[in-house]
Amino acid sequence: MYTTRKTLLQRMQNCDEISWEEFYRIYWPLVLDIGRKLGLSQDNCSDLMQEIMLDLFSGEPLLRYDPAKGRFRTYFGVLVRHKAAEMLKKSAPFDSVSKTVSGSGEPGSPVDDLPASLTGDNLGESNPFQKLFDEEYRKCLLAAAMNELRNTVEPKTYAIFEMVVLQERPQKEVARCLGINRATIDVYCSRCRKTLRRIVSDIRIENPDFNLDMPL
């Protein structure tokens, strides 16, 4: 069953090690992609993720996520934004820090127009960082949906779905390779699509304001 962010965070705050690992697995690609697009090295991205996790689940009440105050996506976006700004200040050469933070860097640079959005007050859709974060967060949710599908259905069922739907291999070829008929392949693929629709539906319930389309 799809684990909501609220449930996952509750488990983590109860010191559930598996939930910590799940959180890292889900959100590390998101933080890595954002960090790279802001011009951070992979090592700095790793540090960024570690600092985010430490802040997110520290004992400080002001740093804890409160569902009553808003959605996790908004909360997490603000946290990533602030920590990324701090990391950029630390990693930028001394003579370019002012350019980086003010957004006056050279056009076409990896962080062009983004660092200014890290320190400004505008968090609307026109904010470059917000656009970047929403795009990467959408990818993160879809990846989580596919992983949930993989963990929900039988391995053979997912393998057939992966070959036929994800890899777009001809059904005739897959049927011959696995020694099954095409009708069986249709049943397995239909089962996966139905399960995936349910998973995506659960994610939409948690993110009603987010335009999350069915990935397949």
Q: 72 — phi, psi (to 5°)?
A: -60, -40
Give domain limits for the chain. Answer: 5-152, 153-216
The pLDDT confidence band at residue 115, using thresholds 50, 70 and 90, is low
pLDDT higher for 199 or 118?
199
Q: What is the DSSP letter of 61?
A: G
**Is pLDDT of 160 > 80?**
yes
**Is pLDDT of 68 > 80?**
no
**Is pLDDT of 177 > 50?**
yes
Q: At which residue do the structure tokens 């488990």 appear? A: 11
Instruction: Give the lowest-confidence range in 53-62, 124-133, 141-150, 200-209.
Output: 53-62
**Is pLDDT of 174 > 90?**
yes
Question: Tell me, what's the pLDDT at 204?
Answer: 86
Q: At which residue do the structure tokens 């249709």 appear? A: 186
Is residue 144 a contact partner of residue 41, using CB atoms and an 8 Å limit? no
Question: Tell me, what's the pLDDT at 79?
Answer: 87
pTM score: 0.76
**Is pLDDT of 215 > 70?**
no
Is residue 105 a contact partner of residue 115, using CB atoms and an 8 Å limit? yes
**Is pLDDT of 119 > 90?**
no
Q: At which residue do the structure tokens 């993160």 appear? A: 140
Residue 47: count other Cβ atoms within 10 Å of its Cβ.
Answer: 17
State how far Cα 179 lies from the chain centre.
37
